[in-house]
Structure 1
Amino acid sequence: MEQSILSNLDKIEDRERAFSYIFENYSKRVYNYIYYRVNCQYTAEDLMSKIFEKVMLKIDSYSEKKSSFEVWLFTIARNVLNDYFRGLKRHTLFSLDIFKELLSNEPSPEEAILKEEANDKLLKALKVLNKKERNIIALKFGANLKNKEISELLGMTSSNVGIILFRTMKKLKSQMESEGYIDE
């Protein structure tokens, strides 16, 4: 289905149908991948719109001979994220997005505290990982990509991705146990 839609992009109606199909089938996974990396709903939404804008502008450059559509799409997502993080290094401004996020969801005070504590524990544990490990975790669990797709995206072997995921999960578990977040 995907290839037939992408191969007929000459007519405006076909382009609109293709973009609708792409957005409907990939937006949740792209959003999850971004959210795993930035941990802010508003930033994730902004970055997601940039990603799909680039997809629309560059759709003619996609070639199924080079990679699968999914790998192509997540390569764009990874590049947009890298640009975002580079920009953060240049501008370390105080962002109000975190406060908007806290105020907009309005769970009960108990739920908010429990959720915040769990997120803080996970974020603290994730900080022991290097950039490559965090990116692979986000691609695996945020974008729900298979090891083979992650390997194509990052230019690694599939078995290497599996080994890194195994060791990373072991490192996270060990960190969370040492912090007393989970029982050994």
Structure 2
Amino acid sequence: MPTEPEGEEQIAVWALVADAQQGRAEAFGELYDRYADMVFRYLYHRVSDRQTAEDFTSETFVRALRRIDSLSFQGRDVGAWLVTIARNIVRDHVKSSRFRLEVSTADMRDADRATDGPEDAVLQGLTNEQLLACVAQLNDEQRECIVLRFLQGLSVAETAAAMGKKDGAIKALQHRAVKRLGNLLPEGLR
């Protein structure tokens, strides 16, 4: 594992972290701009409610600001740290309200249709609807792994950090989830 950030993007992000730790509000604002959409998408997939996801996104960044001084480079992206905070907020919510999280597909289908041409949107919407219906049938851990890895684009290491597991456990979990998805998907989508 690297002991210092590598690559232009990672170096820039960790420079923003260092500036935010020195009290530069603009630096934290830039971190927010870089990661707010990713955190929102993660939360939206978990809670299936836009308003709740927006509230939890705000809470994620409030907690991140309070804890920014404790953040140090440990070989993972700042996004993984933020997703971990978001994940803990969802857990707190589930514990406090006994709220069962479901994967909502309606808004995701609508978002996909808005970005494609009419013909592509219909085909893509049907494909996404079927895929998301299958993802909804996975157990909670498998679903979270798939969302983090493929919908959020996190690496294995970042997913492991966000889920509080080891890299090997994530690889095995992902393998089982993908295998199960393969069995659940209709023949034409495999």
Is residue 2:26 matched to residue 1:20? no
Deviations 1:91-110 (A, max 9, x none): 9xxxxxxxxx7xxx9x8xxx
Deviation at 1:116, TM superposition (A): 8.5
Is the contact between residue 21 and residue 69 of structure 2 (CA under 8 Å) also seen in structure 1? no
1:110 aligns with: none
AA aligned opposite 1:125: C
User: 64, 72, 85: which is aligned to 1:55?
Assistant: 64
1:35 to partner: Cα distance: 1.7
Relative distance call for 1:80 and 1:142 in structure 2 (3 A) is farther
Distance 2:48 2:39 in 1: 13
Cα RMSD for the two superposed structures:
3.6
Q: Supply the distance in 2 between the matched residues of 1:22 and 1:10 (Cα, whole angstroms).
A: 12
Contact 2:44 2:50 in 1 (8 A): yes
Aligned residues: 170
Which residue of structure 2 aligns with residue 94 of structure 1? Answer: none
Conserved in 1, the CA contact under 8 Å of 2:84 and 2:161? no
Q: CA deviation at 1:70?
A: 2.8
Q: 1:1-184 to 2 correspondence within 5 Å?
A: 1-9=12-20, 12=23, 14=24, 16-65=25-74, 68-89=77-98, 121-177=130-186, 182=188
Alpha-carbon distance between aligned partners in 1 of 2:134 and 2:169, rounded to the nearest angstrom: 22
Amino acid at match of 1:56: L
Question: Unaligned 5+ residue runs, structure 2?
Answer: 1-11, 101-106, 115-121
Kindly indicate whether the alpha-carbon contact (under 8 Å) linking 1:137 and 1:165 is maintained by their aligned counterparts in 2: yes
Off by >4 Å, runs of 4+ in structure 1: 65-68, 113-123
Q: Is the 8 A contact 1:34 1:47 kept in 2?
A: yes
The residue type equivalent to 1:142 in the other structure is: L
In the alignment, structure 1 segments of 5+ residues that lack a partner are 92-100, 108-112
Name which one, 1 or 2, has greater alpha-carbon Rg: 1
Deviation digits for residues 88-135 of structure 1, max 9, x if unmatched? 3169xxxxxxxxx7xxx9x8xxxxx99997676445423431111111
Q: Distance in 1 between matches of 2:126 and 2:90?
A: 26
Cα distance in structure 1, aligned partners of 2:77 and 2:55 = 25
Quickly say closer, same or farther: Cα 1:157–1:24, change in 2 above 3 A.
Answer: same
1:98 aligned residue = none
- Using the size of structure 2 for normalisation, the TM-score is 0.69
Contact kept, 8 Å, 1:36 with 1:138, in 2: the verdict is yes
Name the aligned partner's letter for residue 88 of structure 1. S
